[in-house]
Amino acid sequence: MQLFVNDLTVMDFSYLCPRRGMVGESWIVDVILDGELNEESMVQDFGHVKKNLKRLIDEYVDHKLLVPADYAGAEVLHDEQSEQVEVRFNCTDGRSIMLHCPAEAYAFVYSDGIDMNSVGVYLKEVLATHLPENVDNLTLSLREEVINTPFYHYTHALKKHDGNCQRIAHGHRSKIDIIIDGKPNLEEQAYWAKRWEDIYIATKEDEIAYSDRLIKGAVTNPEEYFCFAYESSQGYFELLMPKSDCEVIETDSTVECLAQYLLDEQKKRTPDGICQVIAYEGVGKGAMVSR
């Protein structure tokens, strides 16, 4: 017997890619359980499937930075005294990305690249140890939201958040709607999709001097990099990113603030008429603002 649950959850996370750098992503998760009926004449109660599997997916992937641990350009260093983990990642074009964060901020996938197959294998191995005895097999299907208009991948951090959003590198794959005088403007949406293609959106007050970093790794051209750091309830977070991959804003990077920032910037491009911005944070949620 097979029990299936479509749209079990959405994983919002970021990952390190040798070609693209740091990529924000949102994947929808479907699941199938194979097994015999239990004493309740069920493979498993739908409520338990949704609650337990979603909790595990949230724990192991959601709002984390996924690191391809077998990639030759990735180096992972554990500090046993502070329990901090430093990741150094070299892209194929010479860009470097470095982080100094609590271990919970990462998921280490033993593959040379992050894709739906490698993450599916990683998740299946994790979830298999938590299945009830009557379940023989678990099939995971990971998929992207179908978006027929421009979209972007962004990574950010919400240091004031009391949950996992405070982690310095988690992200989303998000559509963007720019509506001018009541009509969607695909040209302007495409502009933002290009401007924020694989972008890290940082808050200005989190910037620190390169010389003040705790990251032990170094780059030969520090003037081409930003350093960001903050302390939050989950610990100390620090990130070194190429300036070319960043957009630094004055406010926090909540979707509400991003919607307002997009509107303010858009009005500089299209000052005439009524402009509305609908900014998405992953799948099916976001903020809208108009002027």
Per-residue pLDDT reduced to its tens digit, 28-77: 999 887 766 665 555 455 466 667 888 989 999 999 999 999 999 999 99
**135 has a pLDDT exceeding 80:** no
pLDDT at 127: 85
Q: How far apart are CA 174 and CA 35, in angstroms?
A: 36
pLDDT at 128: 81
- Give the pLDDT score at 3: 73
| Structure confidence at residue 133 as a pLDDT band (50, 70, 90) | low
CA-CA distance, 277 to 41, in Å (whole number)? 49
The mean of the pLDDT values for the chain is: 93
Residue with tokens 């017997």: 1
Per residue in 207-256, pLDDT tens?
999 999 999 999 999 999 999 999 999 999 999 999 999 999 999 999 99
Average pLDDT rounded to a whole number, residues 266-277: 96
Question: 139, 53 in Cβ contact below 8 A?
Answer: no
Residue 48's contacts (CB-CB under 8 Å, 6 or more residues apart) are none
At residue 2, does pLDDT exceed 90?
A: no
pLDDT for residue 182: 96
Q: Which pLDDT value is given to residue 80?
A: 83
Q: What is the CATH number of domain 2-290?
A: 3.30.479.10
Radius of gyration (C-alpha) of the chain in whole angstroms: 20
Q: How confident is the model at residue 4 (pLDDT cuts 50, 70, 90)?
A: confident
pLDDT at 47: 60
pTM higher than 0.75, yes or no?
A: yes
Structure tokens at 172: 């989303």
Across 96-119, average pLDDT? 97
Q: For residue 46, report the phi and psi dihedrals to the nearest 5 degrees.
A: -55, -40
Instruction: Specify the pLDDT at position 48.
Output: 67
Report which of 137, 172, 129 is spatially closest to residue 287, judged by C-alpha positions.
172
Q: What are the structure tokens assigned to 266, written together?
A: 């858009």
What average pLDDT does range 125-153 have in this prediction?
A: 86
With CA atoms as reference, report the closest residue to 91 among 247, 249, 244: 244
The continuous run of DSSP H or E covering 124 comes out as helix 116-128
By the 8 A CB rule, do 34 and 78 touch? no
For residues 278-285, give the mean pLDDT: 97
Model confidence at 134: pLDDT above 80: no
Q: What is the pLDDT of residue 53?
A: 83
Q: Distance between CA 127 and CA 149 in Å, rounded?
A: 34
**Strand pairing report for 235-242 and 65-68:** unpaired
Q: Facing residues of 161 across strands?
A: none
Q: What is the pLDDT of residues 79-95, one digit of tens each?
A: 888 889 999 999 999 99
- Dihedral sign from CA coordinates of 201, 204, 209, 212: negative
Share of the chain above pLDDT 70, in %: 93
- In 3-state terms, what secondary structure has residue 288? strand
- Report how far residue 229's alpha carbon sits from residue 213's, in angstroms, rounded to the nearest whole number: 8
Give me the residue spans of the domains in the chain: 2-290
Bigger pLDDT: 124 vs 145 = 145
Amino acid identity at 121: V
Identify the pLDDT of residue 241. 98
DSSP assignments along 159-195, one per residue: TT-SSGGGSSSEEEEEEEEEEETTEE-HHHHHHHHHH
Whole-number Å distance between alpha carbons of 77 and 83: 10
pLDDT of residue 121: 95
- Rounded to whole angstroms, the Cα distance separating 199 from 217 reads 22
* 3-state percent helix, strand, coil for the chain, nearest multiple of 5: 25, 45, 35
